Amino acid sequence: MDGALGTIRDWASTQGIAVGQVPIPGQSRRVAEPVDAASCDVVFALGGDGTTLAALHAAAPVKRPVLGVACGSIGVLTAVTAARLEAALEEVAAGSWTPKQLPGLEVAAGTGDPWMAFNDFTVIRDGVGQVIMAISVDDELYARTAGDGLVIATPLGSTAYTMAAGGPILAAGAHGMVITPLAPHGGVVPPLVVGPESRVALSVEPGYGGARFELDGQDAKAMAAAVTVTLRPDYATLVVVAGQEPLLTGLRRRALVVDSPRILARDARASRPQPR
């Protein structure tokens, strides 16, 4: 990360641009003077997908774009590696980058302000026992389930927790939400994809061990019996630069999607030198 910071500082000095640090919860290291995201033209996230998610949470409410810089292995949200950062900054300076609009999950529980998530909203058991939920879509009951919980994901989040739980991936251009039960105890409750304008309502019974809510993997520190989830389109903006890796290509590179062993074995045989 230090190398990426140096690249940004050098570039900013040649452009006459000030560099500040947007405070993020849990981040104690100080690398620049603290600034509010609203005072920035672009927010750079140096790290991995988790850092970029934190930057999106800070930047989206004030409609600032985020450029994710991978200081390690490039992920879904990070646009470039630290080695390619200088070229990406030149694109940003020239205004030749492309905005990628991301939807957010708006989660309403009780009478307080709604929560927002970019990957997923999760209801998960917090001890022994099961979470019991009734899942309705646009006022139509889908299923009542008992188990470890449930994940509701955006298209972006469909490659995260919900994919690990056996839910489908929404490819680029697909819109909507994915509802994936977690280890349901009996019954038949397959993952469900709903439209971008649908409203998902959950009636939650936490059971003996209790339950918790998570937003993008972070504990929401709250619980409610009734929750409503909707998709807010174009809630955040990611910076896309030339040559950025497509979603499905990235999943294959990171071996999150792997070909059939039979196909791989056939390829291996075909690549072996043939005896003369």
Distance, CA of 258 to CA of 228 (rounded, Å): 35
Closest CA to 7 of 52, 46, 64, 65: 46
pLDDT at 149: 94
Neighbours of 224 (CB within 10 A): 18
What are the pLDDT tens digits along the chain (276 aa)?
678 888 888 888 888 888 888 888 777 778 888 889 999 989 999 888 888 999 999 999 999 999 998 887 777 888 888 888 888 888 988 888 999 999 999 999 877 789 999 999 999 999 888 999 999 999 999 999 999 999 999 999 999 999 999 999 999 889 999 999 999 998 899 999 999 999 999 999 988 888 999 999 999 888 889 999 999 999 999 999 888 888 899 899 888 999 999 999 999 999 888 777
pLDDT at 244: 82
Distance, CA of 145 to CA of 149 (rounded, Å): 9
Supply the residues annotated as catalytic: 49
- Do 169 and 250 contact (CB within 8 A), yes or no? no
| Domain 2-97+241-259 matches domain 104-234 at the CATH topology level | no
Six token digits for residue 198: 């649908």
Domain residue ranges of the chain, discontinuous segments joined by +? 2-97+241-259, 104-234
Whether the predicted model's global pTM rises above the 0.85 cut: yes
Classify 2-97+241-259 by CATH class.
Answer: alpha beta
Rg (CA), the chain: 21
- Do 80 and 88 contact (CB within 8 A), yes or no? yes
- Do 103 and 114 contact (CB within 8 A), yes or no? no
User: CA distances (Å), 242 to each of 88, 147, 251, in order?
Assistant: 8, 44, 19
Fold classification of 104-234 is Tumour Suppressor Smad4 (2.60.200)
- Do 53 and 118 contact (CB within 8 A), yes or no? yes
**Half-sphere exposure in the Cβ direction for 162 (13 Å, CA):** 30
